[in-house]
Amino acid sequence: MADNLKAIKGLASDYAYEVLYNKIISIDLAPGTSVSPTQLSKNLGISRTPIQRACTKLAENGLLEVLPQRGSYVSLININRVYESFYMRNLLEQAAIQQVCGLNDRNKVAFLLEQNIYNQRKALEHNLYEKYFEYDNNFHHIIYNAANMLYIEQAMAQVSLDQNRIRQLKILSNIRIDPTLNEHQKILDSIKSGDADAASFNIYVHISKFAEDTISIHEKYPDYFSNWKSAQDIKPSLQKQNFYGFGK
């Protein structure tokens, strides 16, 4: 009986976490918004204990800030975490796409990416922004999957929470949507040709645009950010770096 109660409480806290997580990432709960466990308990129809557990986990992941005697608030977007996560993503996706370009048969991955870009365009035509965000994520998932680097993709997801809020705000604000689709197309074209250097460069160009996007978002939502630097400080410059990697 005790084990059953623990399982039920665990399921309830997982459910509360998933609901809150999705609301924070989708900006339904904007940065700085107050989060009331009592109100959430009423809205979700579960007790406060699993709500508090979910809030503790969200705080550990950097999405919630719990202030003693003051309450809980959705964390502001930390620009240092954004920069570091994009830096990591740039390196990992270049490694992944080089693996893909080295495949003897790239027809399947090219077909999946082509279909994905088509779905992205259709979602935008119908203003289905959540669906577009899903397709955008899946575009990069297809590359990781083809490179047999899903564990790395999962690890990357753990440090990309603020990055994903930036990406969501970009879509909701209709910032650089068409250029982003064109960048995806160039990545696809380089995979089709098997040109690993061009593919890596196109990944860099695509991901480095985070600075331009973030600056535009900050101009529109300055209160959403903490430790903001000058616009010039977060603009990356192209650097050719050499890394030794593990072959497969």
Identify the domain containing residue 111 by its residue range.
77-234
The pLDDT tens digits of the residues spanning 121-154 come to: 999 999 898 899 899 999 999 999 999 999 999 9
pLDDT band at 234 (very low <50, low <70, confident <90, very high): low
In this prediction, residue 3 carries a pLDDT of: 38
CATH of the domain at 10: 1.10.10.10
Query: Considering only 66-75, 87-96, 149-158, which range has the smallest mean pLDDT?
Result: 66-75
Q: Are residues 28 and 17 in the same domain?
A: yes
| Helix ranges (DSSP H) in the chain | 2-25, 37-44, 48-60, 79-101, 107-125, 129-146, 150-158, 161-172, 177-193, 196-208, 210-220
Q: Are residues 155 and 230 in the same domain?
A: yes
User: What tokens does 103 get?
Assistant: 């495949």
pLDDT above 90 (res 92): yes
> 137 or 243: whose pLDDT is higher?
137
Percentage of residues of the chain with pLDDT beyond 70: 88
The pLDDT tens digits of the residues spanning 4-61 come to: 334 344 588 899 999 999 999 999 999 999 998 888 889 888 988 889 899 999 999 9
User: What tokens does 146 get?
Assistant: 């083809």
CATH of the domain at 86: 1.20.120.530
* pTM score: 0.84
Distance CA 98, CA 123 (A): 29
